[in-house]
Structure 1
Amino acid sequence: MSKKDERDWSRVEAVLELIRKQTPLTVKQEKFCNYACVERFLKAKRDNVKRAAKQLRACLSWRESIGADHLVADEFSGELADGLAYVAGHDDESRPVMILRMKQEYQKIHSQKMFIRLLVFTMEVAVSTMPKYVHQFVMLFDASFYRSATAFTNLLMGALKITGEYYPGRLHKAFIIDPPSLFPYFWKGVGAFVELSAVTSMVSSLDLDDEDESFAEITGGRGVMKEGSCSSSRFAFTVSHHVDSLKPWYLSLSETSAAKRTPVVQRTPRPSFLQSPAGTVFRRGERVCRESFLAVWKLYRRPYDEMVYRSKMRGPVGGEFRRRHISLSQRF
C-alpha cells in the first residue's frame, strides 16, 4: 500500500469514527458507508474530514427519513406504467442512463415528497445496475411536456440539489432536453448557485434530426418521416426537413387530378421576429458538443417498456408487473 493509499484510508477511517461517536450505525448504514462511499464524500468536501463526516451523517438521517432502503416499485406503479422516471440502459462507458420524463401536471397532483421518493428510487435502481468499475450515472431531463419555465426550473433545481448533497460524485452528466423557451434565461440567473451546473447542459432534439436514420434501425423504420412526396386520390403532400424550431417538418399540400376542387392549403410562414427556442438554448459559450449527447441519443429515442425496466431491478424492489407499452405516437 502506497503512502497516498494509506492517507486516503486513514481519512476514511477518521470520517467513520466521527460518525460512530454520535450514533451507532445500523447494519444497512454500515453497508452503505463503504470505502468508495466515504471517499466520494471526502472528495466532495476536498478531503476535509469534519465536513465530510457532517455531510455523510446528514445523508444517513435523510435516507432514514424518506425510507430510501425500503422503497419498492409497487409504490410507483402508475409512474412506472407511464414511464415518468426510469433507467433506459447504459452508455458506451457502461454508465446507467436515467430518463426523467415528468409532466407538469404531476407536481399539481402529487406532493413534493412523492417526487423525491420516485427520484431516489430511480437513482437507487441506477446505482444497483452499475458494474463494479463504474461509479457514476447520466441523467436526462425531458422538458418537452413542460410549458412553464418556472415549474421546470423548480423541479430541476430540486433534483440536482438532492443529487449533489446525497449522491456526491455520482452524476457524470445531466442533459436538459427541449426546455421551455424562457428556461435559458432562468437558468442563466440561478445556474451559478447550483453545485452541479458545471456538468449540466441544454440540448435540443431538433438539432439531432439527422440522427433519425440511426434511430430507424432500432424501431425498424416506424415513427420516422423521411423526405419525399406522397399522393392519394384526394391530395398530395411533400415532407421536407428544414431548420425550423416550431415545426420539425414542413408539409406542402398540392392538388391532384382527382381533387382539383380542393383548395391548396399553405402554411403560415414563421415571423422573423420570433426567436427560435433552439437558437436561444445554443448561445455562444453554451453549445453542447454533439458527441457528448450522441452516446445516449439512442437510449432517449428508444420506446419505453415497463417489463424491460423492471428486469433491471434487483431483489424485491421490482414488485409485481403490470404490462403497458408506450408507443412512439404517445411519447412524441
Structure 2
Amino acid sequence: MGNKDYNSSASASSAQSQTQIDKTRAQSVLQLLRKPSSLTLKQEKFCNEACIGRFLKAKGDNVKKAAKQLRACLSWRENLGVDHLIADEFSGEIADGMAYVAGHDDQSRPVVIFRIKQDYLKFRSQKQFTRLLVFTLEVAIQTMSKSVEQLIVLFDASFFRSASGFMNILVAALKIIGEHYPGRLHKAFVIDPPSLFPYLWKGVKAFIELSSITTMVSSLDFDDFPDFNHFTPYSRAPSLRFNPSSVPSKGAKVGSCSSSRFSFTVSHHFDSLKPWYLTLTDKPSFKVGPTSTPVLGPALISPVNARSYSFASPTARNMNTLRKNFFPSTPLPQKTQVMDHLGVNHPRTPKPSFLHSPALFFKKECHMSKTDKCRESFIPFLRFYRRPYDEMIYRSKMKPPLGGLISIVSPQIRRRHMSVSQRF
C-alpha cells in the first residue's frame, strides 16, 4: 500500500511539474509575441493557453518556432478578415451544402463535410474558397466542447473528373489546416477521388504535413453495409447484372444445357460443322445430349464437361478407352477391414516455434491489409456522409457573429432545404 501511495504521489507531482513547465513556455511565447507591438483584444483572446499549447506541440516544444508560427497565423487571420466572416457571404454555398458541419462523432468531435464541385473555382477565386474553408472550420470549432480540440474532415471528390483540379483544392485545404490550425485535425478522408488521383497523391504526399492522417476510401465498398441503408433518401441506379426473370421462359428441350446466364444445345447430328449453339434461358436442365440414338445409345453430359467433339482433345475423345484400362482388375479391400494405424509410418511435422514463424505473434496485424484498415476507420463516419443535408440544422450550429443576419432576423421561419447535389 505504501508503494502504491508513493507512486501515485510521484505521478501527481510529475504532472504538476509538467503543467508548470507548459505554463512557463506559454508565457515565454506570449512575451515574444508582445515584443514588436502589443496584441489587440481579439488577438489576446485567440492566444489562450490551449492555443499556444497546440502550436508548441506542433513545433516540438520550441518556444521561438512556436512564436514565429503563431505570429504568422495572427497576421494571416488579420489579412483574411477571419473575425468578420458571416454566413451571409456564403448563402449559395450553404444552400447547396458545399461545406457544412454534419454532426459529432462518439468522442464529441465535429465532422465537417466538403462537397465542392469541379466548376466551383471557375466562378470563384482561390481567396473565396479559402474564406469558405475557414468559415466552416470556425463554425466547427465553435461547436466543440471544452474537452475536445480536434475535428474530422470528409472530402467528397465524387463531383470531380479532373484529378489535378481536386488535388489543388485538397492540398490548399490541408496546408491551411496544418499551418494555421495545428493540432486540430484528427483524421481526413478523401471519398471517391478521380482515377488518376492516387498516382498524383503518391508523389505529393511527401511534401504535405497532414498526409499521414489523410486516407482515401471508396463509397462502393459500403453499398451493402446493413447498418446505414436507411440513410439513403434517393433511389439508386438499377443494377446492370443479368436478371434471369427478364428472359421469357421456354420449354425444356432435349439436348440442352442451361445456367442462370446462358445455355448451349448439342445438335443431334455430330458430324455437322458446329454441333452446338448458345441460347438464353432461365430453366436449368442437367440432362443434355440426345436421349436415344441408333448408333451411340444414351448419352449423359454434365454442364461442366459438355463440349463439342470438334474442340475436344484426343484424350477426351478416348475417355472410354482410358477408363477401361485405368482401373485395376484386382478388387480393392473391403471397408470392413481394420487397418493397423500403429504400423503406418506417418511423416513427422516439426512443431512451430518462434524461430520458425515470428509472425504468429502479430497474426492479426499481418493479415489486415491497409485497405481493410482504411475501411474500418471510415465506418464510424459513414452515417454522416450518407445523412441528407439540412440547411436549418447547420445554421442552428452557427453562433454570433458567424450566423449573420439570417440567424437573427428570421428565427421563426422553418424552411427545410434538401440539397439537390447530394449523391444519396
TM-score by length of structure 2 reads: 0.63
**Contact 2:217–2:374, Cα closer than 8 Å, also in 1:** no
Instruction: Compare CA radii of gyration and give the structure with the larger one.
Output: 2
Question: How far apart in 1 are the matches of 2:157 and 2:169?
Answer: 10
Q: Of the candidates 381, 398, 405, which is equivalent to residue 313 of structure 1?
A: 398
**CA shift digits 1:201-242 (9 cap, x unpaired):** 00000111122x3223345xx43669xxxxxxxxxxxx66xx
SS in 1 for 2:215: strand
Question: 1:289 Cα deviation (Å)?
Answer: 3.3
Is 2:310 the partner of 1:299?
no
Paired residue for 2:164? 150
**Contact 2:231–2:386, Cα closer than 8 Å, also in 1:** no
Question: How far apart in 2 are the matches of 1:3 and 1:14?
Answer: 17
Paired residue for 2:214? 200
Question: How far apart in 1 are the matches of 2:97 and 2:236?
Answer: 24
Alignment-mate amino acid for residue 331 of structure 1: R
Paired residue for 1:243? none
SS in 1 for 2:145: coil
Decide which moves more: 79-88 or 22-31. Answer: 22-31
Question: How far apart in 2 are the matches of 1:191 and 1:330?
Answer: 29
Question: 1:139 Cα deviation (Å)?
Answer: 0.4
Question: How far apart in 2 are the matches of 1:107 and 1:171?
Answer: 24
Paired residue for 1:290? 375
Question: How far apart in 1 are the matches of 2:86 and 2:242?
Answer: 47
Q: Of the candidates 46, 56, 59, which is equivalent to residue 45 of structure 1?
A: 59
**Contact 1:42–1:48, Cα closer than 8 Å, also in 2:** yes
Superposed counterparts of 1:71-220, under 5 Å: 71-211=85-225, 213-218=226-231
Question: How far apart in 1 are the matches of 2:371 and 2:231?
Answer: 30
The aligned length equals 284
1:128–1:176 distance in 2 versus 1, CA, 3 Å: same
Gaps of 5+ in 1: 227-238, 241-248, 258-263, 265-283
**Contact 1:307–1:323, Cα closer than 8 Å, also in 2:** yes
Question: How far apart in 2 are the matches of 1:126 and 1:256?
Answer: 57
1:179–1:91 distance in 2 versus 1, CA, 3 Å: same
Alignment-mate amino acid for residue 199 of structure 1: I
Alignment-mate amino acid for residue 178 of structure 1: D
**CA shift digits 1:11-42 (9 cap, x unpaired):** 00000000001121111111100000000000
SS in 1 for 2:33: helix
Question: How far apart in 1 are the matches of 2:388 and 2:217?
Answer: 20
SS in 1 for 2:39: coil
Paired residue for 2:419? 326
**Contact 1:175–1:200, Cα closer than 8 Å, also in 2:** yes
Question: 1:323 Cα deviation (Å)?
Answer: 5.0
SS in 1 for 2:224: helix
Question: 1:287 Cα deviation (Å)?
Answer: 5.2
Q: CA RMSD, aligned part only?
A: 2.3
Question: 1:285 Cα deviation (Å)?
Answer: 4.4
Question: How far apart in 1 are the matches of 2:81 and 2:223?
Answer: 42
**Contact 1:202–1:288, Cα closer than 8 Å, also in 2:** no
**Contact 1:203–1:288, Cα closer than 8 Å, also in 2:** no
Question: How far apart in 2 are the matches of 1:200 and 1:159?
Answer: 12
Alignment-mate amino acid for residue 228 of structure 2: F
Identity %: 63
SS in 2 for 1:89: strand
Paired residue for 1:10? 24
More helix by share: 1
SS in 2 for 1:250: coil
Gaps of 5+ in 2: 1-12, 250-279, 281-368, 408-414
More strand by share: 1
TM-score by length of structure 1 reads: 0.80
